[in-house]
């Protein structure tokens, strides 16, 4: 049986929220995308007021990429990872990944962020599997509509189990680990023998690690 070291991505591996960083990155390349800023602000307010759920919020936010060709999207996310994401990774997170890999663990990254760009985290050579929220590609162009479920909460456990079954991997969960900054990941944190909260600002029964 395999042992897993599972990591969330936003605010667990990274110091910032990656979708927002993607928009800021694109904005520097095309100032016309500034027209989406009022919509982003309203979407954020509606999410805070619980008018929008996390999935709808994500769909609304990513409208600035609507119609982007699949080929251009692949080029964009590669440069985004190299030019931005690599600079906001926690050194402690990368060290943990390397340490677990050396001990024989499989490294799984599971995020609610869009899979079309979190797949770039395969650039970390120790990573075995990346799982994120899937989006539609219609006639070769990006459609900001979630395909399946938003990969958050219980859906992360579901997606993990689907991938393990597909890859025919049996897991020793009791001796596996999970790292996340958020209690939305409690289903995964409870699935493993040892779960850690990263830079969590309140007290909790789970051990809290301070990563920099």
| Nearest-angstrom CA–CA distance, 172 and 170 | 7
pLDDT tens column, 148-190? 999 999 999 999 999 999 999 999 999 999 999 999 999 999 9
Q: Is 86 helix (H, G, I), strand (E, B) or coil?
A: helix
> Residue 55 pLDDT > 90, yes or no?
yes
Is a pLDDT exceeding 90 seen at residue 129?
yes
Taking the C-alpha atoms of residue 32 and residue 29, their distance in angstroms, rounded to an integer, is 9
47 pLDDT above the threshold of 90: no
pLDDT at 3 over 90: yes
Count how many residues are written for the chain.
Answer: 212
Beta pairing partners, 5: 107, 177
What is the CATH topology of the domain spanning 4-209?
Rossmann fold (3.40.50)
30-39: pLDDT as tens digits: 999 999 999 9
Task: Domain ranges for the chain, please list them.
Answer: 4-209
What is the DSSP-derived secondary structure letter of residue 133?
E
Q: State the Cα torsion 62-186-153-64 to the nearest 10°.
A: 0
Cβ neighbours of 7 (radius 10 Å): 26
Confidence at residue 76, expressed as pLDDT on a 0 to 100 scale: 96
pLDDT tens digits, one per residue of 79-103 = 999 999 999 999 999 999 999 999 9
How far, in whole angstroms, is CA 178 from its chain's centroid?
14
Those residues with Cβ within 8 angstroms of residue 202's Cβ, 6 or more apart along the chain or in another chain = none
pLDDT of residue 59: 96
């Amino acid at each position: 049986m395999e042992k897993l070291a599972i990591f969330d991505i936003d605010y667990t591996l990274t110091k910032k929220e990656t979708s927002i960083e993607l928009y800021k990155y694109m904005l520097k390349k095309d100032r016309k995308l500034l027209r989406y800023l009022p919509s982003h602000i309203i979407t954020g307010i509606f999410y805070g007021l619980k008018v929008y759920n996390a999935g709808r919020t994500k769909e609304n936010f990513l409208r600035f990429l609507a119609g982007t060709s699949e080929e251009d999207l692949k080029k964009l996310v590669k440069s985004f990872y190299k030019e931005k994401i690599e600079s906001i990774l926690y050194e402690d997170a990368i060290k943990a990944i390397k340490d677990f890999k050396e001990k024989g663990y499989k490294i799984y990254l599971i995020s609610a962020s869009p899979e079309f760009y979190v797949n770039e985290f395969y650039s970390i050579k120790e990573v075995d599997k990346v799982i994120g929220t899937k989006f539609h590609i219609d006639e070769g162009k990006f459609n900001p509509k979630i395909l399946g479920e938003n990969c958050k909460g219980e859906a992360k456990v579901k997606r993990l189990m689907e991938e393990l079954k597909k890859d025919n991997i049996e897991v020793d969960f009791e001796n596996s680990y999970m790292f996340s900054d958020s209690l939305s990941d409690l289903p995964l944190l409870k699935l493993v023998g040892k779960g850690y909260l990263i830079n969590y600002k309140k007290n909790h029964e789970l051990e809290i690690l301070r990563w920099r």
